[in-house]
């Protein structure tokens, strides 16, 4: 067996610990972290039946604190289940969809300003909820719409829509609305060849007009519309813009803070009277044995 076989596995050699580094700044006081954690736990307990608490409600004594640094430069404090679980072993929550983010990502709560939502392919239609709506009012629902346009789109009867939770190619979840009778295996509905020619012409004319920047302005949105035109205007669309992508950042490093609840090492047991009695008894036995051996030496014939 070589030395490498028996060498202890330290942090640096573990694949998942590759991001351990010094994260500048200071950890919050432990009391503050613990108070905030317990407030979160109290809220969670209200969400779940007590029988599920062991499954879904973490216990402070099991939590290990870390400082993480994100690619945006922001630092946040996070927890994992124990000192051997690293922040990029964990899947942190998506604060909007309540789904889990891919590991290695974190929702940065710092306001980094407006960001364009990138379009991502829908890779999975996960599940759906059907919502019922009453008949639309006779008067236009929007101030800017005239009665004629409203009459064209108004739904005069109660109606319902399906709201799907979809998984995107980036690993995030978004919502997409479809007709109630639509199923993923149906594939998207397309418009006719004639109709797509009209749609393409309308958009191109609008965008070409010098006095009108056209909706939407150049960029992601316009590229998206061009792509949908090339695909013959599919409904539902095969891609969706992802808000989560504008909010999450990759974890680029982390540093240990320590257990959320201080762990005390088992202290050496104070000696008690009982210990003393035992030691005295052993000493007495040893002294008796010494006496016996001495006698034996003095009188070899009596062995």
Half-sphere exposure of 44 (CA within 13 A, CB side): 15
How big is the site for Zn ion, counted in residues (CB under 5 A)?
A: 9
Query: In DSSP terms, which residues pair with 176 in a beta bridge?
Result: 164
Nearer to Zn ion among residue 33 and residue 248 (C-beta): 248
Contact 160, 133 (CB under 8 A): yes
CB atoms within 10 A of CB 172: 24
List the strands of the sheet with 64-70, edge to edge. Answer: 75-80, 64-70, 248-259, 105-107
Q: Which is nearer to Zn ion, 242 or 257 (CB)?
A: 242
Instruction: Out of 62, 110, 206, 291, point to the residue binding Zn ion (CB under 5 A).
Output: 110
Is residue 76 close enough to count as binding Zn ion by CB under 5 A? no
> CA 103, CA 16: separation in Å to the nearest integer?
11
| Part of the chain binding Zn ion (CB under 5 A), chosen from 131-139, 220-228, 234-242, 278-286 | 234-242
Residue 161 beta carbon to Zn ion: minimum distance, rounded to whole angstroms: 23
Q: Contact between 78 and Zn ion (CB under 5 A)?
A: no
Cα-atom radius of gyration of the chain, to the nearest Å? 34
Q: Name which of 46 and 109 has its Cβ closer to Zn ion.
A: 109
**Rounded to the nearest whole angstrom, what is the least distance from the CB of residue 65 to Zn ion in the complex?**
19
Eight-state DSSP code of residue 94: P
Region from 183-191, 206-214, 240-248, 256-264 binding Zn ion, contact rule CB under 5 A: 240-248
Which residue among 33, 63, 242, 257 contacts Zn ion (CB under 5 A)?
242
Report the site for Zn ion in 137-176 (rule: CB under 5 A).
170, 172
**108 makes contact with Zn ion (CB under 5 A):** yes
Shortest Å distance, C-beta 134 to Zn ion: 34
What's the distance, Cα to Cα, between the start and end of the chain in Å? 50
151 burial class (0-12, 13-18, 19+ CB within 10 angstroms)? Answer: exposed
| Residues of the shown chain interacting with Zn ion in the complex, contacts defined by CB under 5 A | 72, 74, 108, 110, 170, 172, 242, 244-245
């Amino acid at each position: 067996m070589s030395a490498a076989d028996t060498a202890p596995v330290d942090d640096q050699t573990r694949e998942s610990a590759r991001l351990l580094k010094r994260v500048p700044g200071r950890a919050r006081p432990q009391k503050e972290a613990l108070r905030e954690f317990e407030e979160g736990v109290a809220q969670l307990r209200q969400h779940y039946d007590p029988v599920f608490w062991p499954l879904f409600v973490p216990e402070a004594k099991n939590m290990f604190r870390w400082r993480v640094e994100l690619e945006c430069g922001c630092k946040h404090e996070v927890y994992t289940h124990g000192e051997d679980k690293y922040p990029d072993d964990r899947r942190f929550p998506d604060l909007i969809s309540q789904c889990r983010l891919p590991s290695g990502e974190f929702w940065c709560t710092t306001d980094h300003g407006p960001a364009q939502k990138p379009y991502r392919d829908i890779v999975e239609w996960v599940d759906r909820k059907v919502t019922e709506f009453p008949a639309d009012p006779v008067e236009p629902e929007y101030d800017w719409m005239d009665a004629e346009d409203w009459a064209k789109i108004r739904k005069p009867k109660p109606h319902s829509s399906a709201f799907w939770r979809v998984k995107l190619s980036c690993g995030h979840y978004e919502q997409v609305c479809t007709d109630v009778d639509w199923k993923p295996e149906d594939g998207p509905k397309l418009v006719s060849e004639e109709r797509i020619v009209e749609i393409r012409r309308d958009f191109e004319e609008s965008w070409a007009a010098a006095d009108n920047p056209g909706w939407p302005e150049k960029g992601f949105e316009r590229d998206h519309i061009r792509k949908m035109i090339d695909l013959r205007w599919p409904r539902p669309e095969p891609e969706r813009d992802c808000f989560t992508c504008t909010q999450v950042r990759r974890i680029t490093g982390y540093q240990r803070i320590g257990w959320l609840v201080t762990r005390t090492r088992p202290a050496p047991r104070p000696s008690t009277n009982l210990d003393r009695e035992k030691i005295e008894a052993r000493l007495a036995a040893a002294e008796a044995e010494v006496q016996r051996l001495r006698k034996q030496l003095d009188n070899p014939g009596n062995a």
